[in-house]
Structure 1
Amino acid sequence: MNNQEIVQKLWNLCNVLRDDGITYQQYVTELTYLLFLKMMKEKAIDDASLRGTIPEGYQWDDLMQKEGLELKTFYQKLLIELGTSQNEKLQQIYADASTSIVEPKNLEKIIKSIDALDWYNAKEEGLGNLYEGLLEKNASETKSGAGQYFTPRVLIDVMVQLVDPQVGERCNDPAAGTFGFMIAADQHLRNETDDYFNLSPQQAEFQKNEAFSGMELVKDTHRLALMNALLHGIEGPLKQGDSLSSNGKWMKDYDVILTNPPFGTKKGGESVSRDDLTFGTSNKQLNFLQIIYNGLKANGKSRAAVVLPDNVLFESGIGAQIRRDLMNKCSLHTILRLPTGIFYAQGVKTNVLFFDRGVTDQNNTKDVWVYDLRTNMANFGKRNQLTMAHFEDFMKAYVTEDRSEIQNERWNKFSREDIAKKNDSLDIGLIADDSLSSYDNLPDPIESAEEAIIKLQQAMDLLNEVAEELRVVEEVKVVVR
């Protein structure tokens, strides 16, 4: 049985919990509690240093010995015990843990089903890969809501490959999610160093304990990220908290930043609470963009790749000021216009910005190359997924020493001067849409004009109604006086 089959079996166990009213997200969290115990047992067989991770009396075999109500009572006690453990990682994974499982028989069935899986082959393929497969499965289920802005693994791999982290570099994701970018960066380096066996002991220790870091706001997601990191042998700083608050100020001077920040505005519309950002705005992604380019080392070698929605490219006011600051401090050399439908929230239009931090804070961007992977592309979604083949032409253009040699209508250059003439708007590089090239596909101008008149009339009627209501209120106030 391979990992994909194991993931499917684990996922099918969710049906056992339907009567308990458990959501997909709750189920994955519940599985994390149980899988960690089982995986620690499996890993300790090969690594003696892990045998004391779980306290005596609260290990996987202790769960297996109990049934019914006794099992549920013991499980509840176990969660509390591990959540107050002296082991920091253990404490973080089980912090404020509680079970959503109501029926003891359901808990018993899940534990026994997990124990019966083919763990020998799971270890051969990698327990971390198994867990990541489970997270991806959760994100792909639209009912779970977890994948609303889930970054497709193929896109993560493209970004990591092009940014090309090196051994000894400090990498970071300030919007860590389940830590997918850092795990991909770690795997990228393992592939190039024979799983770190080509490194000195000091270098291997750095990769394990310092090379990869991040911060995640949501507690349950942070729990999943910790589990994911530990199962992949990554023990760098992975903190729970708001990167847009003062708690995120520890993240600075990185060689590489890879991330897909959350979209939207802060609740209540308030500005970010960090005092080390030049421009205050309630727009989360604009604040994250500032954190990212200011978080890179100013050495001319540090670099970033970040997924951002379209509005970051053209928003005026503070948005234009932040883009100008970015292009001054960094060489914004490449923008990849992504197709729609690759995120599970349909219609979200996104881009990847690639930039390198300069040594100085002025005039670092000279030319911006834009690759349009959006226009005239197939509709992507759950049935038609994005693959590495879709990125081949872009990746070839990206790494070519003389980019002007690439003859591809999707690949275009814009000078810094041309961008400045457009109020530093980066909403550029989209090619002609074939669906609009035919006159038959264009909207009827008379119908469009009539529709606009109707909408304007409706707006006028609504305004007149509001004005009339305000007049009535004023008349009532006069009578009362």
Structure 2
Amino acid sequence: MRNQEIVQKLWNLCNVLRDDGITYHQYVTELTYLLFLKMMKETDNEGIIPEQYRWDSLEQRHGLELTTHYRRLLLELGQEGNGIIKQIYMNASSNIDEPKNLEKIVRSIDQLDWYSAKEEGLGDLYEGLLEKNASETKSGAGQYFTPRPLIDVIVKLVDPKPGERCNDPAAGTFGFMIAADSHMRSKTDEYFDLSEKEAEFQRNEAFTGVELVKDTHRLAMMNAMLHDLHGDIMLGDTLSDLGKSLKNFDVILTNPPFGTKQGGEGLTRDDLTFTTSNKQLNFLQHIYRALNANGKARAAVVLPDNVLFEGGVGAKIREDLMNKCNLHTILRLPTGIFYAQGVKTNVLFFTREKTDKDNTKDVWVYDLRTNMPKFGKRTPFTTAHFDAFMEAYTATERNSVQDERFNVFTREDIRKKDDSLDIGLIADESLSAYDDLPDPIDSAEEAIAKLDEAMTLLLEVVAELKAVENKPEYVTEDRQELFQVAEVRGEYNV
């Protein structure tokens, strides 16, 4: 069985938990608790877990005894565990109230084809589960999951190298760093081309990050561990005083959280030059300040459109960025590639230079947004859509690239636009009057759902009519009101 099939089997178990009112995100967190124990057994690493709380301790119990033991396990590992165990189970609690549901999940996990899963890689299996969670719009997980094709392309172009310190200040599930590790492994024969000391640095120090949300941090820790990465993933807020210590990195790859979010990342640190309530602009300041000023350190950051054109402080931050760094490339991304639909995003590629003045001479902009397909579940976004951009990006002489989507703007051009970087979009050939129309298939599915709802109400009315056909006194005022509502909505002619 391939990992994709295993992921689907694991995901189908979510149906078991519907009666417990568990959300998709809670389900993935719950699976993380259980999968950690199972994967430690499958990889012969159970020695780091107290014997009484290993996988077999779950498999041997049933019913209420299993539930009681499981809750005790979560509590004890979160309080008494060491290292990664404590971080994964810290403040852990179970949302599964029904003992038979927990038992069903434990038995189902145990019966999966773990031989095939290990052959393909347990890390890839877990990442598949995280992506499945992100693709479910009801879970809200898309806010921290960057599409894998985009991550892979960014990593390939930035090209992190062994020995470099890589960081993601908004780590999410640690996808950028895991992809960077995979990129380097592919070029060094799984680090066997490196010395033992160099390989140890890659596994234990090269990849670090910060994540604010506790449950997401838990997923990041699990993801890193399954990919044999043991760098520091801090639980905290980069935009707080914690962020002051994050500096001198060679590579930063990140997708800071966009949009509004309850309990969001407000700025509490006082070392940034410009003060603003815009989280993305604050992250951008942090990123270019956290790079080594050696002319080699580089970053790629995913940012929403507002960062490109916001005036006032926004313009000052962009000016500061172009002074301290060589902002050489902006990729205008298509809409619909993030699971948070409708968000317009870009990737800024820049290098931190040795001086703090006039380092950006030209900005090349690639428009991968205009006249592109409408991406979604039925039209998936793949790495193949980046082929032309990658060819343009890596061209020895960019001026020779024949691609209407690829255009250059001088620093003087940008200065005349009050340092707005909302540039480079080509002419839209689509019928603008229809740009904002919903997908016809989505509209049809929505209509079917409404018809099903109406049919249910109609059947209820018919059943009631039959029940009171010979007993009109049973037609209450509430039911009469229901008939009237149905009649107004055209669902039944009373």
Length-normalised TM-score, structure 1: 0.88
> 1:14 corresponds to which letter in structure 2?
C
Identify the residue that residue 392 of structure 2 maps to in structure 1: 397
Question: What is the rounded CA distance, in whole Å, between the counterparts of 1:316 and 1:86 in structure 2?
Answer: 49
For the Cα contact (< 8 Å) 1:149–1:345, is it kept in 2? no
> Equivalent residues in 2 for 1:248-327 (5 A)?
248-264=243-259, 272-327=267-322
What is the root-mean-square deviation of aligned Cα atoms in Å? 1.6
Question: Which of 92, 98, 102 is the equivalent residue of 1:103?
Answer: 98
Identify the residue that residue 326 of structure 2 maps to in structure 1: 331
Aligned residues: 435
Identify the residue that residue 58 of structure 2 maps to in structure 1: 63
Identify the residue that residue 25 of structure 1 maps to in structure 2: 25
> Equivalent residues in 2 for 1:345-424 (5 A)?
345-424=340-419
Question: What is the rounded CA distance, in whole Å, between the counterparts of 1:258 and 1:423 in structure 2?
Answer: 27
> 1:202 corresponds to which letter in structure 2?
K
Unaligned runs of 5+ in 2: 436-494
Q: Does 1:131 align with 2:131?
A: no
Question: What is the rounded CA distance, in whole Å, between the counterparts of 2:265 and 2:53 in structure 1?
Answer: 45
Question: What is the rounded CA distance, in whole Å, between the counterparts of 2:63 and 2:341 in structure 1?
Answer: 44
Question: What is the rounded CA distance, in whole Å, between the counterparts of 2:431 and 2:128 in structure 1?
Answer: 40
For the Cα contact (< 8 Å) 1:245–1:274, is it kept in 2? yes
Identify the residue that residue 234 of structure 1 maps to in structure 2: 229
Specify whether residues 441 and 189 from structure 1 end up closer, same or farther in structure 2 by C-alpha distance, changes over 3 A only. closer
How far has the Cα of 1:81 moved from its partner? 0.8
> 2:272 corresponds to which letter in structure 1?
L
> 2:54 corresponds to which letter in structure 1?
Q
Question: What is the rounded CA distance, in whole Å, between the counterparts of 1:352 and 1:311 in structure 2?
Answer: 13
Identify the residue that residue 176 of structure 1 maps to in structure 2: 171
> 2:51 corresponds to which letter in structure 1?
E
Question: What is the rounded CA distance, in whole Å, between the counterparts of 2:65 and 2:384 in structure 1?
Answer: 53
* Secondary structure of 2:210 counterpart: strand
* Secondary structure of 2:291 counterpart: coil
* Secondary structure of 2:321 counterpart: helix
How far has the Cα of 1:441 moved from its partner? 8.2
Question: What is the rounded CA distance, in whole Å, between the counterparts of 2:263 and 2:4 in structure 1?
Answer: 42
For the Cα contact (< 8 Å) 2:170–2:211, is it kept in 1? yes
For the Cα contact (< 8 Å) 1:266–1:283, is it kept in 2? no
> Equivalent residues in 2 for 1:136-175 (5 A)?
136-148=131-143, 150-175=145-170
> 2:311 corresponds to which letter in structure 1?
S
For the Cα contact (< 8 Å) 1:333–1:365, is it kept in 2? yes
Question: What is the rounded CA distance, in whole Å, between the counterparts of 1:183 and 1:411 in structure 2?
Answer: 30
Question: What is the rounded CA distance, in whole Å, between the counterparts of 2:372 and 2:66 in structure 1?
Answer: 54
Q: Does 1:40 align with 2:40?
A: yes
Specify whether residues 94 and 268 from structure 1 end up closer, same or farther in structure 2 by C-alpha distance, changes over 3 A only. closer
Identify the residue that residue 216 of structure 1 maps to in structure 2: 211
Question: What is the rounded CA distance, in whole Å, between the counterparts of 1:345 and 1:207 in structure 2?
Answer: 33
Identify the residue that residue 196 of structure 1 maps to in structure 2: 191
Length-normalised TM-score, structure 2: 0.86
Specify whether residues 64 and 270 from structure 1 end up closer, same or farther in structure 2 by C-alpha distance, changes over 3 A only. closer
> 1:323 corresponds to which letter in structure 2?
R
Q: After TM superposition, which residue ranges in structure 1, 4 or more long, deviate above 4 angstroms?
A: 265-271
How far has the Cα of 1:150 moved from its partner? 2.8
Specify whether residues 202 and 73 from structure 1 end up closer, same or farther in structure 2 by C-alpha distance, changes over 3 A only. same
Structure 1 residues 160-211: Cα deviation after superposition (integer angstroms, max 9, x where no partner): 0000000000000000000000000000011111111111100110000100
Question: What is the rounded CA distance, in whole Å, between the counterparts of 1:39 and 1:351 in structure 2?
Answer: 37
